[in-house]
Amino acid sequence: MTMDMTTIPNPIYKPGAYFAFNTTLASRALATNDQKLLIIGQRLADSATVDALTPVNVYSDDEAALYFGHGSQAHRMARAAIKANQYIQLTVVGLDDAEGAQAANTKLTISGKATNSGQVRLSVCGTFINVAVASGDTPDDIYKALATAVTADQSLPVTAQTGVIPPAGDDDPSTPILNFTAVNKGTCGNEIAMTVTSTASGLTLEMDPMSGGQGDPSLDAAFSAVFASGHTMILLPYTSDDALAKLSAHLDNVSGPLEQRGAVGVTGWNGTLASGTTLTSKVNAPRISCGWHAGSALPNGELAAIYGAVMASESDPARPLNTLTLPGLDITAQDNWPGRTEQENALMNGLTPFEVDGSVVRIVRAVSTYVKNAAGVTDRSLMDITIIRSLDYVRLACRTRYTQRFPREKLTDARLARIRSELLDVLYSLEQLEIVENVDALKDQLTVTRSLQDDTRAEATIPAAIVRGLHVFAAVIYLM
C-alpha cells in the first residue's frame, strides 16, 4: 500500500485534519531470494488428470502420480526432486509424447530350468524387483512372476508382457520371452537402466539395454506456457542440441533486461566424460548447469531433478555448492567414478561432476556450461553457476528497492541523487551478506544520470563485485 498527499483531494473546503499513509520508506530489508522450480517432463495421456502444457504446483509423490500418471517421466522427476528437498516450491508442466514417437524396449530371455531355489533380481533405474525361484521352475514361471511384480510397482517407467520369439524354422520351437516397454515414448526410454541376475542355478539370463526410443516432444509450447510465471530454475530431462538451445534461449529471454525474471536451467548426464564435454561445449550457456554422474542407473531427467532441488536448498546465491549431498542418487560401480584428472577435465569444459563419498553422492563444484566467449576465447568470468545467480539477486534487490522508493516520480537532479543513495544502501546491505564486496572502493562508479537521448529517462551504472566461492586453498608446509 502506497498513499501520499495525492490521495487527499485538493482543494477540500470542509475543515478537518486529513491523514494518509505512505509506506515507501517502511522497509530497508533486501528482497528474499525465493526459489521456484519448474519441471518439464512427459505425462501419460491415458491416466493423467492434468492436461498437457498446464502448469500445476506439486507437493507430493502421490500428487505427481495422480496429475501425470504413475511411472511417467514427469511423475518420477517430481518424486526425485521432492525426495531430495521436501521444502521446494515445485511446478510441473506435463508434455504429451511426440506424434509418431517410438517407445524404447528390450526383452529378457531365460533358458534352462532352476535346479535349486533362489531369486531372480531385476533392477529398473536402481529399483530392485525380486521374485522367488523354486527348484524346477521354468522360464515361463519366472516370466509370469516378474510381469506380476513389475505391474504391481506402478512407479516403474516400464511395463512387462510375456511373449514369444517365432521359431527360426518349421522344426524349431518358439522361444518364450518377457518384453519390457517404456511407458513414455521417445529417447527418454533409452536412458532406463535395466539389469537382471539370478541366484538360482540352472538358469541362463540374457537382456540387452533398452533401445529403440525415438522422437521427443517439442518444447516451444511448454516454454510459452510458463514464460510469465517467474520460475528461477528449470529442470529439463532432454539433452539434445535442439532442446538445450531452446532452453538457453528461453532463459536469456526471461532473464533479460526487459523481463528481469532471472532463471537458470539444470540438466543431467549419466554418460561418459567425452560425450558430456561434447554436449556442454555445444551449449556454452552461462545460465545452464549440467550435472554429471557417470554410469548412473537414473535417467538424465531424474539426475537433473535431484541436482536442481539441492541447488535450490541454498538460499545464498553466492555460496558454493561444493560437497552438498545429492539424496536419492545411486552409488555407481567404482569403475565409473571419475578420477581427479577426469574431474578437472569436466570442470574446465563446463560439466559439473558428482562424486561418490561412502554411502552418499556429492557435488564437486557447480559450474555453468559457459566456457568460451563469442570470439571463441576461453572465458572463466561466469564459470561458477553461483555468479549468474548472484547477479540475478543483485538486480532483484536493486529493482525491489527502486520500485519501493520511487513508484511515481518526477525527474530532477535531487531525485537522481536520492536514487543513487538508495542503490548504494542496497550494495552496502549486499556486502554485509557477502554477496558483493569492495563497495567503498567502487562507489564512485555508481552513477545515476539523465539520458542524453530521452528527457524522461534516467540511467544508472551499478558496480557489483560478486563474491566468488573459496574453491581452492593452497599452502606450503615448511620443515623447520
DSSP string, 129-176: EEEEE-TT--HHHHHHHHHHHHHH-TTSSEEEEEEEEPPSSTTSPPEE
Residues 130, 279 share a domain = no
Report percent pLDDT > 90 for the chain: 90
Do 326 and 194 share a structural domain? Answer: no
Query: What is the identity of the amino acid at 92?
Result: V
In the numeric block, which cell numbers belong to residue 449?
544520470
Cα angle 68, 72, 74; round to 5: 65
Q: What is the pLDDT of residue 77?
A: 98
Distance of CA 252 to the CA centre of its chain: 16
- Residues 427 and 439: beta-carbon distance below 8 Å: yes
CA–CA separation, 312 vs 446, rounded Å? 31
Is residue 479 situated within a structural domain?
A: no
C-alpha 277/C-alpha 376 separation (Å) is: 16
pLDDT digits (tens, 9 = 90+) for 337-386: 999 999 999 999 999 999 999 999 999 999 999 999 999 999 999 999 99
- Tell me whether residue 26 is in a domain: no
Domain range enclosing 172: 105-207
Q: Which residue has the higher pLDDT, 16 or 91?
A: 91
Do 147 and 92 share a domain, yes or no? no
334 and 222 housed in the same domain: yes
Residue 25, pLDDT above cutoff 60: yes
Whether residue 71 lies inside any domain: the answer is: yes
Report yes or no: 461 and 446 within 8 Å, Cβ to Cβ.
yes
Q: What is the mean pLDDT of the chain?
A: 94
Question: Does residue 5 carry a pLDDT above 80?
Answer: no
Instruction: Calculate mean pLDDT across residues 397-418.
Output: 94
Task: Flag whether pLDDT at 4 surpasses 80.
Answer: no
- 243 or 23: which leads in pLDDT: 243
Residue 170 has pLDDT above 90, yes or no: no
**287: Cβ–Cβ under 8 A, 6 or more apart, which residues?**
248, 251, 252, 255, 263, 264, 265, 368, 388
Q: How far apart are CA 127 and CA 154, in angstroms?
A: 12
Of how many residues is the chain composed? 480
The pLDDT-based confidence of 435 (bands split at 50, 70, 90) is very high
Residue bearing cell 507437493: 59
Counted domains in the chain: 2
Residue 109 in domain: yes
- Which of 40, 198, 214 is CA-nearest to residue 122? 198
Kindly report, residue by residue over 219-250, the tens digit of the pLDDT. 999 999 999 999 999 999 999 999 999 999 99
55 and 118 share one domain: no
Which of 207, 233, 261 is the endpoint of a domain? 207
Question: In which band, very low, low, confident or very high, does the pLDDT at 138 lie, cut at 50, 70 and 90?
Answer: very high
- Same domain, yes or no, for 202 and 84? no
Which of 272, 236, 406, 422 minimizes the C-alpha distance to 349?
A: 272
pLDDT of residue 198 exceeding 50 = yes
Q: Does 236 lie in the same domain as 152?
A: no
Judge whether residue 172 has pLDDT over 90: no
- Distance between first and last Cα of the chain: 68
pLDDT of residue 72: 98
Domain assignment present for residue 74? The answer is: yes
Indicate if 233 and 378 belong to the same structural domain.
yes
What is residue 35's predicted lDDT score, i.e. its pLDDT?
Answer: 93
Domain stops at, among 386, 404, 436: 386
**What would the 3-class secondary structure string for 382-429 be?**
CCEHHHHHHHHHHHHHHHHHHHHHCCCCCCCHHHHHHHHHHHHHHHHH
**Could you tell me how far CA 210 lies from the centroid of its own chain?**
24
10-23 mean pLDDT: 82
Determine what percent of the chain falls in helix, strand and coil, rounding each to the nearest 5. 30, 20, 45
Which residues are within 8 A (CB) of 22 and not within 5 positions of it... i.e. 6 or more apart?
A: 2, 3, 4
- Would 249 be classed as within a structural domain? yes
In angstroms, the CA 246 to CA 224 distance is 11
Read off φ and ψ for residue 255, nearest 5 degrees. Answer: -95, -5
- What pLDDT digit, counting tens, does each position of 416-425 carry? 999 999 999 9
Predicted confidence (pLDDT) at residue 2 exceeds the cutoff of 60 = no
Task: Look at residue 412 and tell me whether its pLDDT is greater than 90.
Answer: yes
pLDDT tens, residue by residue, 205-218? 999 999 999 999 99
* Closest C-alpha to 328, from 356, 352, 360, 301: 360
Q: How far apart are CA 181 and CA 73, in angstroms?
A: 14
Domain boundary among 352, 368, 386: 386
Q: Do 226 and 82 share a structural domain? A: yes
Q: Residue 3 pLDDT > 60, yes or no?
A: no
Q: State whether 82 and 41 are in the same domain.
A: yes
Distance (Å, rounded) from C-alpha 469 to C-alpha 237?
28
Q: Based on the fold, state whether residues 142 and 71 are members of the same structural domain.
A: no
Q: Is residue 409 part of a domain?
A: no
pLDDT at 64 (0 to 100) = 98
For residues 244 and 350, state if they share a domain. Answer: yes
Question: Which pLDDT does position 1 carry in this prediction?
Answer: 46
Q: Is residue 291 part of a domain?
A: yes
Contact in structure between 268 and 291 (CB atoms under 8 Å): yes
